A and B are shown apart, each in its own frame.
Chain A
């Protein structure tokens, strides 16, 4: 938390000025703070996603620490301003606007939830400030709601569902679905079915279960799924819901008879510990244990040293957003929006998930989707994914025709 420069408004400014008057030398400090490069991060620190958001902020902090330790950017230090949007879209708007107009941030990093992501992106568009999304992944952002200052390092919901269909599609004939009853989940199933029809035309869905978000007891859904005897179960549950579901489905032997493919975050692996069954197909956005090369393993060590925890997917993507900005600012030799957008479009960035470019068409980072089977981890106290397959972005992202079609329909 130390590097977070909290914004207290006018009082803080007055206090800083008084302090500066009282102590001559700190004037120099105030002047230097003026020329910091400022990253604004509006995100959902309170609410059900709080632990994910904590990871994002940690990753971003670590990235900024490293940039500053290496001398900063363009001879200036980098500072982080964090605001809490509490999963409320209107707070996303007001905080982001305030960060831009009053705190004069140079660039933005997106929030946690898609609903807040939409409003943050809209403000970035209005004030023409670059924003990199690290978590919200509704396909509407890069497709119909695209604007030139928007960039994303998360595989969109469309890409993830297609990647899942690519991997799970050939594993059987009879498919079942379980997912929380909300928009992203309905969309996810639609995208999955579309790709499944290509991958495995003979496959069919025999049952679907739609528990409410935050359902504490899945037993009734599980008995229904188990009696349908599907070959493959596609799950769009995540977080605490997924953890509850897996614990409750285990005694039914669901994971022995059925190939289960699900969204999965490191937090889920950690929460379940050894209770996590082997052989579940998990789809992750940025699993630290499957990152290529030494850079990633050194990152994991530094992260653990600083936070005494393993970096969640969100921490890795937050860290990568800082690295992408650092690369682009060096390339552009400027923090001015137009130059920075150009540099982000033109650059190739060495991120933890590998070399990454943003596609011109929709500024979607060409990040893969990671799918593997749960198995015991030899270095960590929880299960990890084995046989991890990287489904490449160009196999799953929307074609140019699809993107243009969506934008025309808007």
Chain B
């Protein structure tokens, strides 16, 4: 039984890692700009479709995936920067609900745009050679790709941590999360910072989309399922806190996976039970600061 729980937790961990990559971008945007960015799932979906196209164009499954990994996140980050610069900036001084409506409108526009460009068929992306098999853990097969996801997730977490603690850009972001008005007063170009953060966040959503593409199917609608869970992650972890997002995502992944083992019919509810518990006991999130 212990083996089963462990392997189950491991599969939950790999699920949590993709969620972490996407949610870390969302939490940075939310924390810095105070925008609940519904379009975040659209960046994820756009990257997944780009992965499909790049992989198909390159042909080879390994090189195709690597090419997508290099191309799709920067492209999506660029799209994010354009959206911030061209749209969100224009209404930055308006009340928050306008930004909410605008980001929601963007989700519809991106979804229809994808439908126009790629059609409404669902598609698949092959896993890179060498990662399409399984390794044996505790006498049970575990997909190599999922094992790789766990490693990559850890690497990205470390990378983000270094970015936020060791670079000027990262330190400015953390300062903006702590007190947005103050950094403006201190002479930081807030507009450029916001565009940069939005691009970084969109790029992370894009990275998540590339990593997730070979796991399941690439189809319209994957934007809405990821956005709901991502919001759950950042509420659990604390808004603006990347390490909080890591803990929140891993928690959701593992709780969901182990839940399936014991109470399969309630598996879907576990995520939201965890969310409610956090909201009741620690409303600012596990690593959030009291404001």
A residues contacting B by CB (< 8 A) are 48, 50-51, 54, 181, 207-212, 214-224, 226-227, 239-241, 243-244, 247-248, 250-253, 267, 270-273, 275
Q: Provide a sorted-by-A list of 12 A–B residue pairs whose CB atoms are within 8 angstroms.
A: A48-B220, A209-B260, A210-B264, A217-B216, A220-B15, A221-B260, A222-B11, A226-B140, A239-B219, A240-B219, A248-B143, A270-B121
Q: Name, among B115, B134, B143, B225, the residue most crowded by chain A CB atoms within 10 Å (CB to CB).
A: B143
Report chain B residues within 8 Å CB of A48.
219-221
Report chain B residues within 8 Å CB of A270.
121
Closest chain B residue, CB of each to CB of A50: B120
Binary contact track B207-222/A, C-beta < 8 Å → 1, others 0: 0000010111101111
B residues contacting A by CB (< 8 A) are 4, 7-8, 11-12, 14-15, 18, 115, 119-124, 126, 132-134, 140-146, 212, 214-217, 219-222, 224-226, 256-257, 260-261, 264-265, 267-268
Q: Of the candidates B18, B123, B220, B256, which one forms a contact with A220 in the assembled complex, judged by CB atoms under 8 Å apart?
A: B256
Q: Of the candidates B124, B220, B261, which one forms a contact with A224 in the assembled complex, judged by CB atoms under 8 Å apart?
A: B261
- Minimum CB–CB distance from A163 to chain B (whole Å) comes to 25
Q: A220 with B119: in contact, given A240-B219, A243-B216 (CB under 8 Å)?
A: no
Q: Of the candidates A212, A221, A251, A272, which one forms a contact with B133 in the assembled complex, judged by CB atoms under 8 Å apart?
A: A251
Q: Of the candidates A212, A221, A239, which one forms a contact with B122 in the assembled complex, judged by CB atoms under 8 Å apart?
A: A239
Q: A247 with B217: in contact, given A219-B143, A267-B121, A267-B122 (CB under 8 Å)?
A: yes
Q: Name, among A214, A227, A240, A252, the residue most crowded by chain B CB atoms within 10 Å (CB to CB).
A: A240
Which 6 pairs of residues, A with B, have the shortest CB-CB distance?
A244-B216, A220-B257, A50-B120, A251-B143, A240-B219, A251-B134
Report chain B residues within 8 Å CB of A54.
120
Report chain B residues within 8 Å CB of A207.
264
Closest chain A residue, CB of each to CB of B226: A216
- Minimum CB–CB distance from B274 to chain A (whole Å) comes to 15
What is the CA–CA distance of A54 and B142 in the complex, to the nearest angstrom?
A: 38
- Minimum CB–CB distance from A159 to chain B (whole Å) comes to 26
A-B contact count (CB 8 A): 123
What is the CA–CA distance of A307 and B261 in the complex, to the nearest angstrom?
A: 46
Q: A253 with B260: in contact, given A243-B124, A275-B124 (CB under 8 Å)?
A: no
Q: Name, among A239, A247, A273, the residue most crowded by chain B CB atoms within 10 Å (CB to CB).
A: A247
- Minimum CB–CB distance from B225 to chain A (whole Å) comes to 5
What is the CA–CA distance of A214 and B228 in the complex, to the nearest angstrom?
A: 12
- Minimum CB–CB distance from A274 to chain B (whole Å) comes to 9
- Minimum CB–CB distance from B59 to chain A (whole Å) comes to 13
Q: A271 with B122: in contact, given A216-B222, A223-B8 (CB under 8 Å)?
A: yes
Q: Of the candidates A215, A251, A272, which one forms a contact with B144 in the assembled complex, judged by CB atoms under 8 Å apart?
A: A251
Q: A210 with B122: in contact, given A221-B260, A251-B133 (CB under 8 Å)?
A: no
Report chain A residues within 8 Å CB of B225.
214-216
What is the CA–CA distance of A210 and B266 in the complex, to the nearest angstrom?
A: 9
Q: Contact check, B143 vs A216: say whether CB atoms are below 8 A apart.
A: no
What is the CA–CA distance of A270 and B221 in the complex, to the nearest angstrom?
A: 19
Q: Contact check, B222 vs A51: say whether CB atoms are below 8 A apart.
A: no
- Minimum CB–CB distance from A61 to chain B (whole Å) comes to 17
Q: Of the candidates A50, A209, A217, A227, which one forms a contact with B15 in the assembled complex, judged by CB atoms under 8 Å apart?
A: A217
What is the CA–CA distance of A222 and B216 in the complex, to the nearest angstrom?
A: 13
What is the CA–CA distance of A48 and B11 in the complex, to the nearest angstrom?
A: 27
Q: Contact check, B268 vs A247: say whether CB atoms are below 8 A apart.
A: no
- Minimum CB–CB distance from B276 to chain A (whole Å) comes to 18
Q: Contact check, A247 vs B124: say whether CB atoms are below 8 A apart.
A: yes
What is the CA–CA distance of A54 and B220 in the complex, to the nearest angstrom?
A: 15
Q: Contact check, A248 vs B120: say whether CB atoms are below 8 A apart.
A: no
Report chain B residues within 8 Å CB of A212.
268
Q: Of the candidates A210, A216, A248, A267, which one forms a contact with B267 in the assembled complex, judged by CB atoms under 8 Å apart?
A: A210
Closest chain A residue, CB of each to CB of B9: A220
Q: Of the candidates A214, A219, A272, which one forms a contact with B146 in the assembled complex, judged by CB atoms under 8 Å apart?
A: A219
